[in-house]
A and B are shown apart, each in its own frame.
Chain A
């Protein structure tokens, strides 16, 4: 049986000397893994078309015995080149992936999470890494997961709470135009870290490094 989807590459790992295992996030199949046979050979039709955070149309043979399906064809749509040139951006994208992997099941439809990551990566390529972008992603994904911190007794200062609401609910660009003071960034960052620790049992990997990089990239000194 074959399937087709549009997906984002979450992970790309060598399986053998010539083949890759690709983890995808797709709307209709959610998180799924395919083997791209021969993808590491320069002559392969996959060569240069599959890498981290690439957006592509894919078709695959479904495996009946395992969760590792076989990639048949890939049509590249978007490579997100800005992630290649900046470690702060790549760290944010990696953290977003770790968050999604921790909070979702494999092989379960995730149309809204897919859309969220797609828009997040597009945003990340349009502007520099910033704490607002990280917070916006966290708040939007938490809402998607039914864990809206806005409903809880947050203990946040009124201004910070309002910012959190806008980052969670409004368009990406609207939230990213907000200017946060250093104190607000620290407050919201700590609050979300605690919230994630409680509701997801542990904070997803890479958050501290992603936030530090984003704050650094966003600081006026640069």
Chain B
């Protein structure tokens, strides 16, 4: 039997994404046998990161200061705005190295089944940006599952206005996937092949 303190630690790690019960136990057993200063450093680093990271008030990205580096970057194309579902999707698009515009994180997708309505997402914030920023094209880069698709069509309709092109990344990704599993090549092709929706 494991001592209670270790069991508790295992339970905490097992809640982390991608960590199964066996890995959780291995990490816990490793940590309780590690030098105290190293463990303290790990704990402090986690706390520090959690403390420092916030959401950019403009685009919704994970950042240490708001506005974030991308929003603040004058070399990026302010006329091009890429809409993603979650903050981590920005990282996926950035890794593709293809996109030189700015971002907007929706914070989810519309899901009538789960009670997620347009008002629960950062759509009003997006409309505010369209009124104040020189955006000429919106690139919708949501997942291609049923709700992601329906949300994309909803946005295209709602955001339609003169002088604004609404496009969507091409189906380089198989239907039914989220952005996090796409490889970099697929994503950069998908971005290059984006098409106007309405």
Show the binding face of A for B, using Cβ within 8 Å: 11-12, 16-17, 40-42, 47-53, 83-87, 90-91, 93-95, 97-98, 205-206, 209-210
Known: A17-B17, A53-B146, A210-B112. A47 touches B153 (CB 8 A): no
CB nearest neighbor in A for B110: A87
B112 contacts A47, CB within 8 Å?
no
Chain B residues with Cβ below 8 Å from A48 are 174-177
Q: B107 interface residue, CB < 8 Å from A?
A: no
Kindly identify which residue among B18, B113, B154 contacts A17, using a CB–CB cutoff of 8 Å: B18
Show the binding face of B for A, using Cβ within 8 Å: 17-18, 110-113, 115, 117, 145-147, 149-151, 153-154, 174-178, 181-182
Docked complex Cα distance between A222 and B184 (Å): 41
Chain B residues with Cβ below 8 Å from A16 are 18
In the complex, given contacts A51-B145, A52-B147, A87-B110, what are 13 additional A-B residue pairs having Cβ atoms less than 8 angstroms apart?
A12-B145, A17-B17, A40-B177, A40-B178, A48-B176, A48-B177, A49-B176, A52-B113, A85-B150, A87-B151, A90-B146, A90-B147, A94-B111
Q: Is the interface of A mostly helix, strand, loop or mixed?
A: loop
CB nearest neighbor in B for A9: B146
Known: A85-B149, A209-B117. A40 touches B112 (CB 8 A): no
Chain A residues with Cβ below 8 Å from B113 are 11, 52, 94, 97-98, 206
Docked complex Cα distance between A128 and B39 (Å): 60
B146 contacts A87, CB within 8 Å?
no
Docked complex Cα distance between A155 and B191 (Å): 58
* Residue with the greatest number of chain A CB neighbours at <10 A, chosen from B18, B112, B181, B182: B112
Known: A17-B18, A205-B115, A209-B117. A86 touches B176 (CB 8 A): no
CB nearest neighbor in A for B157: A87
A83 contacts B146, CB within 8 Å?
yes
* Residue with the greatest number of chain A CB neighbours at <10 A, chosen from B115, B147, B154: B147
Docked complex Cα distance between A93 and B117 (Å): 15
Chain B residues with Cβ below 8 Å from A93 are 112
Kindly identify which residue among A50, A94, A98 contacts B176, using a CB–CB cutoff of 8 Å: A50
Docked complex Cα distance between A49 and B112 (Å): 21
A87 contacts B150, CB within 8 Å?
yes
